[in-house]
Structure 1
Amino acid sequence: MTRPAPLDRLSVARAVEAALAEDLGRAGDVTSAATIPADAQARVAIVARTPGRLAGLQLAEAAFASIEPAIRFVAERSDGDRLEPGSVVARIEGPARAVLTGERTALNFLGHLSGVATLTAVFADKIAHTGAKICDTRKTTPGLRVFEKYAVRCGGGQNHRFGLDDAILIKDNHIAVAGGVEAALRAAKAQIGHLVKIEIEVDTLDQLDRVISEGADAVLLDNMDPATLREAVRRVAGRMTTEASGTVSLETVAAIAEAGVDLISVGRITHSAPTLDLGLDVALV
């Protein structure tokens, strides 16, 4: 798997600042301040409790560094790595109060994003014998989209559009209001520049035939069974990217991929991924 490029530092800094402000509130970590001596030092390790795929190290490191720049964060693994129970993800050393203050924010980011990467990897492994790729959707946590989509890449998936502004995706409601497949495609082509791609959703082969006649960059084949998907791929004959979507599960994804589509979009890899169980093992020094 090709490892994704690092996250933008400004995006990381903004997200961590907001998360720490939410957690620290007006008075800061009153528990650590009340119970931990000011000069106490701590060595800790972030350890995987369950198997999975890692994502979010930059955010975890930034959470500790934002509390106390003197904290030393040493990553033992890289984003995208497979983890087993007991895998040491990172070792952290520094002022104990600051380490304990940053712990939850760091683990929240790391556990959530690793969960997204893990579920993505499970789906990707199911279709590894085909040419299809798993991709995400816009069904993301508000404010965390850039990180969740990064986690999808860590899990071996691909990204769909990041927002409403970077590609045209004509869905069924657009088609209904615009007056049909042809009308929607013609209106879109009249409005956009030559670098903007157009994808359109269809749920019948008749609609697909009309899309093929009009032309588009990609077609989203919605809620079609594998036999219908195979026929759709045959009709497209490589003229457009084909994407399957709708009620995709771990039980159905292989059959969908074997129909020959290029992409399979799965909303649950971001909106329903369980958090990966990661813990912080502490040894005061």
Structure 2
Amino acid sequence: MTDQGNLAAAEFPTDDPMAAAAAAAEAAWTERLTPDRFAGRTVVVTGAGSGIGRATATRVAREGGHVVAVDVAEERLDDLVTALPGLQVTAVGADITDDTSIAGILEAADGRIDALANIAGIMDDMSALHEMTDAVWQRVFAVNVDGTMKLMRAVLPGMLERGAGSIVNTASEAALRGSAAGAAYTASKHAVAGLTKSSAFMYGPSGIRVNAVAPGPTITNIEVKVTSPFGPTRLGSARGILPAPVTAAVLASSITWLLSDDAFNVNGVVLASDGGWSAA
């Protein structure tokens, strides 16, 4: 399980030629850290072993937060901890679809979670509905929807007790349109958007903000196993309008803004961080 923020039609492995386009598009962007923005706060980041999850965990830790870094691949977490010497990072190998693992995440946070970045997830196989297998549908929903829901459900009681908290879920461009990914992934991301908006309405009056980010083309190491040419052929017709891809650090900037008090007046938003693709 890895970070899920990027839609299948717009994902580019790190060794893809599109990486050069990302470097060019990002040349004008400079990461600007906000010292101590998360000081005194514990932030759970799932999918922290790679991609957008790792970039988000790194950004929060560098800005003073205690990161509970969650990933199913523990060796990736070991590398993350090694890369952030002297910073507050607690690594937790966990499967977010498993209730026992969820309990372990709460225990690692030592009873207090101020913010949650739900980034872990998986892709589908780009299949259209008539080719969809039950196995693909159920697995994608188990991770992308059930896992997101389970962690939100677990952290909300503590946030309600304190009257404060911030949750950022990972939607996708596939939550905003039907031409970005396979049927299972697209449906799962629409579900994440709905869960985000419902929760924002329910918990906003209690001081808890719930938002989502919808990434566009992003350089990651996610691989998509295509099982049929039907879906990719149809989706390929929409690729002409894609903006240049960016690195995971750019998405982490959007996510950490939503997590932080800088977004104090933002609740129930699905923020498109997609270079303008959603406006096309």
After TM superposition, the score normalised by the length of structure 2 is 0.23
After TM superposition, the score normalised by the length of structure 1 is 0.22
